[in-house]
């Protein structure tokens, strides 16, 4: 089947976040390939405005689409009657990331997520998070000796440990937290630093910018694990768990962070950039999504239709509520 009209959905697009930037990059690449794209979100705002103003993409106004690429099971349930729907699952813990029975197929952003999906009785395909490698690129050479560290960690506890480790090594410490000081063009900030500390999509964006990365954070939904300083010998393993720290599961204190920072090697920059181009490039990932969608057939499940009719009224009320507030 040749797709023409495509809908891309994310639960909310009012604030900056991982799935929000994923959605923006996804739409941008589909537009560049000539598809007619619209978007959906229960809550609009900062990111949806950028989608509309920067990309010229409108909010959902069609009754049906050739294919729907959706994050979050709540969106899947709401939109599944509008066309073939592919759900991308970005994690194993959040409720919204659990696979939906209303999806026609599932994409997992890591092998860890795929295993989780399969444990719930669903099949799926692994497609790594896609990064806009035109926007996220090396713009400045890193120092031969480590001088500047950027933390993209979400927790104050993690930042305190990293900050103290940097003081011990006489290294400049900088931090950004999307919940406290969000920046859209974060690639500019990444390029002002030699090494980045973070997990998940933050790590992928750093890799695309050719920045060595220390996989570490201390988030509320998961234990504080680390995959350490990424090297050629470890990156393929860390990717299996979305660079979450849950592959090697190192427990790092201040001394542990110091030890990992000492592994810094400016020569890793070229390898990391090449890895991003070959494995994380959104251009390649979108092609894989489209090929996968072409292999999927729309379910004809009367039980699902029954459930959808039950939830339809409730979801319409919720959508009205979100738009009002």
Q: How many domains does the chain have?
A: 2
Please check whether residue 141 lies inside any domain of the structure. no
pLDDT of residue 242: 98
Please check whether residue 134 lies inside any domain of the structure. no
How far apart, in whole angstroms, are the C-alpha atoms of residue 311 and residue 303? 13
Are 155 and 121 part of one and the same domain?
Answer: no
Please check whether residue 174 lies inside any domain of the structure. yes
Structural domain boundaries enclosing 30: 5-126+295-324
pLDDT of residue 189: 97
Phi/psi region, residue 94 (left: phi>0; alpha: psi -120 to 50; beta: rest), is beta
Which CATH number goes with the domain that contains 174? 3.40.50.2000
**CA dist 6 → 80, 84, 156, 222, 290 (Å):** 13, 10, 40, 34, 11
Q: Which residues of the chain have pLDDT under 70?
A: 1, 220-222, 301-316, 319, 321-325
Please check whether residue 34 lies inside any domain of the structure. yes
Length of the chain measured in residues: 325
Are 299 and 275 part of one and the same domain?
Answer: no
With beta carbons less than 8 A apart as the criterion, state whether 312 and 155 touch.
no
pLDDT of residue 236: 98
**In this predicted model, what pLDDT tens digit does every residue of 265-294 receive, in sequence order?**
999 999 999 999 999 999 999 999 999 999
Are 49 and 101 part of one and the same domain?
Answer: yes
Are 300 and 275 part of one and the same domain?
Answer: no
Please check whether residue 284 lies inside any domain of the structure. no
Are 44 and 71 part of one and the same domain?
Answer: yes
Beta bridge partners of 125: 107
Are 14 and 116 part of one and the same domain?
Answer: yes
Please check whether residue 61 lies inside any domain of the structure. yes
How far apart, in whole angstroms, are the C-alpha atoms of residue 122 and residue 102? 11
Which CATH number goes with the domain that contains 11? 3.40.50
pLDDT of residue 313: 67
Please check whether residue 290 lies inside any domain of the structure. no
Are 152 and 268 part of one and the same domain?
Answer: yes
Are 256 and 302 part of one and the same domain?
Answer: no
Identify the CA nearest to 38 among candidates 74, 13, 18. Answer: 13
Write phi, then psi, for 71 (nearest 5 degrees): -90, 155
pLDDT of residue 305: 56
Q: SS3 sequence, 208-232?
A: HCCCCEEEECCCCCCCCCEEEECCC
**In this predicted model, what pLDDT tens digit does every residue of 12-63 receive, in sequence order?**
999 999 999 999 999 999 999 999 999 999 999 999 999 999 999 999 999 9
Are 43 and 12 part of one and the same domain?
Answer: yes
Are 163 and 236 part of one and the same domain?
Answer: yes
Please check whether residue 132 lies inside any domain of the structure. no
Are 180 and 248 part of one and the same domain?
Answer: yes
Are 51 and 121 part of one and the same domain?
Answer: yes
């Amino acid at each position: 089947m040749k797709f023409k009209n495509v809908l891309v959905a994310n639960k909310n697009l009012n604030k900056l976040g991982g799935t929000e930037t994923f959605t923006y990059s996804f739409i941008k690449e589909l537009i560049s390939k000539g598809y007619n794209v619209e978007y959906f979100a229960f809550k609009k705002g900062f990111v949806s405005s950028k989608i509309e103003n920067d990309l010229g993409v409108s909010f959902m106004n069609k009754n049906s689409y050739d294919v729907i690429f959706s994050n979050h099971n709540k969106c899947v349930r709401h939109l599944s009657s509008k066309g073939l729907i592919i759900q991308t699952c970005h994690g194993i813990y959040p409720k919204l990331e659990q696979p939906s029975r209303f999806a026609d197929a599932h994409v997992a952003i890591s092998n860890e997520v795929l295993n989780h999906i399969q444990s719930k009785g669903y099949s799926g395909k692994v497609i790594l998070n896609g990064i806009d490698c035109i926007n996220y690129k090396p713009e400045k050479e890193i120092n031969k000796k480590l001088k500047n560290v950027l933390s993209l960690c979400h927790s104050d506890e993690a930042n305190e440990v990293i900050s103290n480790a940097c003081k011990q090594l006489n290294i400049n410490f900088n931090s950004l937290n999307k919940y406290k000081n969000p920046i859209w063009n974060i690639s500019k900030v990444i390029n002002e630093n030699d090494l980045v500390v973070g997990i998940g999509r933050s790590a992928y964006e750093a890799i695309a910018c050719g920045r060595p990365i220390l996989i570490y954070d201390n988030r509320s939904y998961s234990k504080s694990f680390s995959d350490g300083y990424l090297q050629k010998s470890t990156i393929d393993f860390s990717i299996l768990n979305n660079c979450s720290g849950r592959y090697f599961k190192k427990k790092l204190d201040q001394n542990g962070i110091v030890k990992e920072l000492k592994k810094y090697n400016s020569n890793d920059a070229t390898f990391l950039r090449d890895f991003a181009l070959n494995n994380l490039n959104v251009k390649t990932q979108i092609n894989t999504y489209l090929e996968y969608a072409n292999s999927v057939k729309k379910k004809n499940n009367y039980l699902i239709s029954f459930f959808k009719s039950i939830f339809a009224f409730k979801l319409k009320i919720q959508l009205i509520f979100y738009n009002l507030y």
